[in-house]
Structure 1
Amino acid sequence: MTFLENGKENGHHAENIWQMEKIEEAEPLSWRFWRKKRYIVVLLAFFGFFNVYSLRVNLSVAIVAMTENRSHIDENGTEHWTQDFNWNSKEKGLILSSFFYGYILTQFLGGFLATKIGGNHIYGVGIGTTSILTLLTPLAAKHSVEMLIAVRIIEGIFEGVTFPCIHAVWARWAPPLERSRMASIAFAGNYAGTVVALPASGLLATRYGWESLFYVFGAIGCVWFILWEIVVKSSPELDKYCPKEEAEYIRKTTGNKDNEKIIPPWKAIFTSPAVWAIVVAQFAELWGFYTMLTQLPSFLKDTLNFNLDKTGFLSAVPYLTMGLLLGVSGYLADWTQIKGYLTTTQVRKYFNCAAFLAQTVFMTLAAYLLDPVWTVLCITIAVGLGAFAWSGFAVNHLDIAPQYASILMGISNTFGTIPGIISPLITGYIVQNQSAEEWKIVFYISASVYIIGTIIYWFFARGELQEWAKKPEQIAYEKKMNGTNSNPEQRRGYDNNAIELRE
């Protein structure tokens, strides 16, 4: 089935042709990324998300070292047991979830501000400020648990703007047929940061003390912030180092205009089933993700008796898998659209829902088996296959309303942050005795959430531009196309033109 035939079946024939005529021909993705400024933006965004997650997950490992009972023998030969912080499971759950109390507050604000002053600046400042606060975390922890929680909340406030703001960057820098791969490659930085931070945190904590985790990753984030602010501009037109041909190609394919005034249709946004499908899918994916992100080191130590070094490395394996698969899923998503095998709606639904179903199966198996090898393998597969879900819901904002994508991401990520708050708290209350049976309940809850997300996204997700998000020129074009219905020859002319452009 061709792209145009799919468009007819979905009732969006005129819109498909309009997009094909706007896009002309998708440029191939060259390995010489430095020749295209938008690929440099993707690379720096990748390292930005690397910092976002390395700054977020280091506490998951650090808290194990901070509360670990350590033995030492004094000069008289007497063995003593000490720990830096005597926090119980509820207090640890509160500390791990405190980041998300702040994180949830700025999702919507970040998306709204990005449409006004540019997503690149807010994205950079959010990560840069979090890096500075990370450097101060050891001092806060030694002062009091209340101070540590306060610092983590403030970190969450500044990191909360990052995901909404990056969609404002893609709205300006990403051609439509490159959105999946550009966004997926950048989002892979989340998992690269997790892959590096978890084992590195275990090694740093063992060799240099838990304080070193925060000093090392905080310093890396500060260096990245300086590079980002120097290199990345809000749009290709404002970047004097972006080739004119590339800037014109991006402008033409995205349809962006300089100083374009954006007035969001709030009622239409909040009553759109397509928007709420994204919200539910993001909630479901991040429930499982945050559960593993914050609890996996403790789970491996409690049920499988891994020491701190092994815990860090094994906790990183699922995210290494996901990071690698993100590039694959993004490329496949774009490729199936360019070749005309699937419509955008089909790509989003198939990728997202298939991933959720697979995650449900393997999360349940992980809970049932509780074997050192098979459990880690099941968790790795479950988390890794989430990469295909990110080529569904995470890019979907740009499909249905590109000029409002940062606002939509702010809305969906606000709800997506709730699992980061609730999951550690629920786990803290369930896992009182660190028993295998208690951990099984945690895994079963995650599997159930995935199933709910699958059902809702399948029935309500959409991949086409929504009526309330169309620009005047698109509406005018569709009216013109509708006027050709009575003239078959003119209709065939538009169809043939679009086919030639695609090929």
Structure 2
Amino acid sequence: MHEENSVSDDLKRQAALFYNSTERERVNEVRSSSTTWRFWEKRRLVVSLLAFFGFFNVYALRVNLSVAVVAMTEPVEVELDNGTIIYVPEFDWSSTTKGWVLSSFFYGYLVTQLPGGWLAAKIGGNRMFGIGLGATSLLTLFTPPLAHISTGLLIAVRVVEGLFEGVTYPCIHAVWSRWAPSNERARLATFAFSGSYVGTVVSMPVCSLLAHYTGWPGIFYVFGIVGLVWTTIWWLVVKESPEKDPHITAAELKYIQESRGAIAVDGSQIRHPWRAMLTSGPVWAIVMAHFSENWGFYTLLTFLPTFMQDVFKFQTSATGLLSAVPYLAMAVVLQVSGHMADWMLHMQLMSRTNIRKLFNCGAFLAQTIFMIAAAYSTSIVGCVVCLTIAVGLGGFAWSGFSVNHLDIASPHASVLMGLSNTIATLPGIISPPLAGFIVTDKTAEQWRLVFFISSAIYLLGAIVYGIFCSAERQPWVVEVDCDASFDTDAASVTTARGYDNKAMDNSSEM
């Protein structure tokens, strides 16, 4: 009996060795067939690229009204029944009414931040991201006819658009918690987020051209259709996690599993420690930083075309082109800052916490200075230069606070992003009406006060983040034990706390 067991054990060992050898050869074959320029074979890069275009659409759909409202309220030539030519605006709105129209989006956007993060953790960030953006795109197509019916319906459809788009930022952190290796978080996340600013850069001048050549309704029709096309591609290509992607290579899967730390478990098993999260100093440091950055950004995003028109007397086409310049700088800086932050972390030049503080607080202090300088600029060139530097430097801040959720609590990152973006959405609600209340006579002095408020909030954000920031995994992070599950190619076994993949021990990082 003992001899039979011994023979059986020997056969099992030989079978295991044969399997490991065969599987290792298969992995090496996969790796050798890949080349560095074929980036689509690294599926995490495909996810990041499509997320980039997703955020491109998020901001194109959001900023379109900022340019369209200028065209909607400009005097246009109207011929009366008696042949008299007069010039009247199509929508005769006061500055206060403009403020309510422009801020209406953020009332819906505020509501779905936390629910969006919670749902993303439960059913998958990829699904919620696609649903949110797809529904917003569809509603955008109905904006022109509803605006012609009544201002109230225009406000209502913008509120509903905000409800659907509110899930996007929390959802993408649910995606990164599963797809992003820990030492690539900054570059992958900032590359995706930079799509927001490229979307702003492209959409502002394009909106101006569409308003000039097709009329302002064309703005909503074009970007609504583009958003629906993106939604279809995202839904078909991006999976909830690398374990569920049938096209990922075995080596890349192992690399992601190793470097991201504790494996992402099934969403239904995640339990969020709400009390600990809501009383955590590092969490509120992120919230304050996010609030501060968004205050300055939303103020300019919403009112920069109007500011150019009021102070420097620029018409619709010129305001769209000039207003896009600061966001081009932001898009470029985001690429640099993400790679720089990850490089500093890789070289161990500073601790992760100090890197986050350096990028965030340094950016905020510089933005404080250049916003004040923009307020006192007497020429369009000087003003645009100062605003470009101020907005552009915000790209460094995003390599601080925007990935900090993943640092301190990766399993709960989508909910934490939902929390911080909820508070950070308040500027979108408060700032436009406040600016509309302040700027009643359209003078440079009144606009100067708007810039002073933004500068003071940047400075406060730098102080709070500098004191309370941490990039270390927090003790209240919950890890859930669960049964093992096999990945897509059956080469690896994943669990809640790690993985067992002897077949690929010698495969290298992808």
Q: Report the TM-score when normalising by structure 2.
A: 0.85
Partner of residue 495, structure 2: none
Does 2:431 align with 1:423? yes
Q: 1:448 aligns with which of 456, 460, 463?
A: 456
Indicate if the aligned counterparts of 2:132 and 2:168 stay in contact, CA closer than 8 A. Answer: yes
Amino acid at match of 2:125: G
Amino acid at match of 2:244: L
Deviation at 1:343, TM superposition (A): 1.1
Q: In structure 2, what is the Cα distance between the partners aligned to 1:178 and 1:269?
A: 25
Deviation at 1:132, TM superposition (A): 0.3
Indicate if the aligned counterparts of 1:167 and 1:409 stay in contact, CA closer than 8 A. Answer: yes
Indicate if the aligned counterparts of 1:251 and 1:257 stay in contact, CA closer than 8 A. Answer: no
Amino acid at match of 1:210: W
1:39-50 matches, within 5 Å, as 39-50=45-56
Q: 1:259 aligns with which of 266, 281, 284?
A: 266
Cα deviation 1:109-146 (Å, max 9, x = unaligned): 00011111110000000000000000000011011011
**What is the RMSD of the two structures over their aligned residues, measured on CA atoms?**
1.7
Does 2:59 align with 1:53? yes
Deviation at 1:73, TM superposition (A): 6.2
Does 2:206 align with 1:187? no
Please state whether the residue corresponding to 2:87 is helix, strand or coil.
strand
Amino acid at match of 1:212: G
Partner of residue 206, structure 1: 212
1:119-130 matches, within 5 Å, as 119-130=125-136
1:150-229 matches, within 5 Å, as 150-229=156-235
Q: In structure 1, what is the Cα distance between the partners aligned to 2:150 and 2:107?
A: 18
Deviation at 1:30, TM superposition (A): 5.2
Query: Greater shift after overlay, 77-86 or 357-366?
Result: 77-86
Deviation at 1:252, TM superposition (A): 2.1
Cα deviation 1:376-396 (Å, max 9, x = unaligned): 100010001000000000000
Deviation at 1:257, TM superposition (A): 4.5
Please state whether the residue corresponding to 1:401 is helix, strand or coil.
helix
Q: Report the TM-score when normalising by structure 1.
A: 0.87
Query: Greater shift after overlay, 449-458 or 244-253?
Result: 244-253
Deviation at 1:34, TM superposition (A): 1.3
Indicate if the aligned counterparts of 1:370 and 1:436 stay in contact, CA closer than 8 A. Answer: no
Deviation at 1:82, TM superposition (A): 2.3
Partner of residue 392, structure 1: 400
Q: In structure 2, what is the Cα distance between the partners aligned to 1:133 and 1:76?
A: 39
Partner of residue 271, structure 1: 279
Partner of residue 75, structure 2: 69
Report the CA distance shift for 1:299/1:209 in structure 2 as closer, same or farther (over 3 A).
same
Partner of residue 443, structure 2: 435
Q: In structure 1, what is the Cα distance between the partners aligned to 2:229 and 2:250?
A: 29
Report the CA distance shift for 1:281/1:257 in structure 2 as closer, same or farther (over 3 A).
closer
Cα deviation 1:389-415 (Å, max 9, x = unaligned): 000000000000000000000000000
Report the CA distance shift for 1:178/1:149 in structure 2 as closer, same or farther (over 3 A).
same
Q: In structure 2, what is the Cα distance between the partners aligned to 1:336 and 1:342?
A: 7
Partner of residue 361, structure 2: 353
Q: In structure 2, what is the Cα distance between the partners aligned to 1:52 and 1:249?
A: 31
Query: Greater shift after overlay, 346-355 or 257-266?
Result: 257-266
Q: 2:296 aligns with which of 288, 291, 295?
A: 288
Please state whether the residue corresponding to 2:111 is helix, strand or coil.
coil
Q: In structure 2, what is the Cα distance between the partners aligned to 1:403 and 1:386?
A: 27
1:106-121 matches, within 5 Å, as 106-121=112-127
Q: In structure 2, what is the Cα distance between the partners aligned to 1:472 and 1:372?
A: 56
Does 2:111 align with 1:105? yes
Q: In structure 2, what is the Cα distance between the partners aligned to 1:285 and 1:215?
A: 30
Q: In structure 2, what is the Cα distance between the partners aligned to 1:427 and 1:398?
A: 34
Indicate if the aligned counterparts of 1:281 and 1:393 stay in contact, CA closer than 8 A. Answer: yes
Does 2:371 align with 1:368? no
Partner of residue 232, structure 1: 238
Partner of residue 93, structure 1: 99
Amino acid at match of 1:48: G
Amino acid at match of 1:465: R
Calculate percent identity across the aligned residue pairs.
Answer: 55
1:336-351 matches, within 5 Å, as 336-351=344-359
Indicate if the aligned counterparts of 2:265 and 2:480 stay in contact, CA closer than 8 A. Answer: no
Deviation at 1:368, TM superposition (A): 1.0
Q: In structure 2, what is the Cα distance between the partners aligned to 1:74 and 1:94?
A: 31
Unaligned runs of 5+ in 1: 1-28, 474-500
Q: How many residues align?
A: 447
Q: 1:245 aligns with which of 224, 232, 251?
A: 251
Deviation at 1:259, TM superposition (A): 2.5
Query: Greater shift after overlay, 63-72 or 161-170?
Result: 63-72
Could you say which structure has the larger radius of gyration? Answer: 2
Partner of residue 18, structure 2: none
Indicate if the aligned counterparts of 2:177 and 2:264 stay in contact, CA closer than 8 A. Answer: no
Cα deviation 1:459-478 (Å, max 9, x = unaligned): 000011111116489xxxxx
Cα deviation 1:28-70 (Å, max 9, x = unaligned): x955421201100000000000000000001000000001112
